[in-house]
Structure formats: structure tokens, C-alpha cells
């Protein structure tokens, strides 16, 4: 079982122009084949909640391949995702394990940048929480 929470927002001259919070859960449907992962599964996701003016929901009623494995010279555990038959690392989403449980967070601020005299700043926070059953 896995749960993913996503909070996104964008501001123009400090005024919110986009805000979305969503939570998605998934149950494993099959083992994944990620070559660099300690474990990987295909998860069938369902959206549990969605608030704000969210763009198209890419998680609802989809199957996504996700895995965890070591990455980089220090072999930090990170999330890998499957797209179109290939597995890709997400080096900025590190994972902590505790027995059969795992969790991780990713936060990013992009900007500020100016376009046509308006200053934009964006934020994204992603939390991943799950349990592995042997």
C-alpha cells in the first residue's frame, strides 16, 4: 500500500494564481521489473481527495510502476518510476525505511522569475508513505 500527497501553488506578485492539494492511494497489482531497485511494484491508484483548481489528474484510476533503490555514490535510497517501459530515478525524493514501512518527501521552490513585469514563484511538496508486506 502506498499513499502520495501533492501540494502545488503558484503566486504572481505574491497573489495566489494556482493552488492544488491532492492525495492518492495505491495497492500493488504486480511486481515491477526495475533493474536498479531493491523492490518495485505496479500500483493501481485512486484519488482520495482533491482541493483547489487542480490541473488534469494524472493519478486517478491509473497503474504506475514505482520502486525504491540505491542511487549515487552514497547509495541513498530514492524513488524510481516507470514510464513507457523504462525506469527513471528521482534523486531528489529520498526514502527512509523502517522495517516494512517507508516514507519520503520532496520540496522545491521554483522562481522567482519575471515575465511581462509580473514576478512568479512556485512551490511543490510531495510526500510518499507506504508499507511493504513480505
Q: What pLDDT band is residue 60 in, cutting at 50, 70 and 90?
A: low
Q: What is the pLDDT of residue 55?
A: 74
Spatial CA neighbour of 82 closest among 129, 125, 26, 127: 26
pTM higher than the cut 0.85:
no
Give me the residue spans of the domains in the chain. 2-131
Above 60 in pLDDT, residue 134? no
Amino acid at each position: 500500500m502506498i499513499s502520495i500527497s501533492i501540494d502545488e501553488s503558484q503566486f504572481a506578485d505574491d497573489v495566489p494564481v494556482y493552488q492544488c492539494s491532492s492525495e492518492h492511494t495505491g495497492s500493488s497489482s504486480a511486481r515491477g521489473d526495475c533493474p536498479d531497485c531493491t523492490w518495485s511494484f505496479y500500483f493501481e491508484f485512486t484519488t482520495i481527495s482533491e482541493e483547489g483548481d487542480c490541473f488534469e489528474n494524472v493519478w486517478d484510476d491509473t497503474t504506475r510502476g514505482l520502486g525504491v533503490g540505491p542511487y549515487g555514490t552514497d547509495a541513498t535510497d530514492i524513488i524510481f518510476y516507470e514510464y513507457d517501459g523504462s525506469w527513471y530515478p528521482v534523486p531528489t525524493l529520498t526514502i527512509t525505511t523502517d522495517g516494512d514501512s517507508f516514507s519520503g518527501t520532496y520540496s522545491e521552490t521554483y522562481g522567482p522569475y519575471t515575465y511581462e513585469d509580473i514576478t512568479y514563484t512556485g512551490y511543490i511538496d510531495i510526500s510518499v508513505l507506504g508499507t511493504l508486506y513480505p
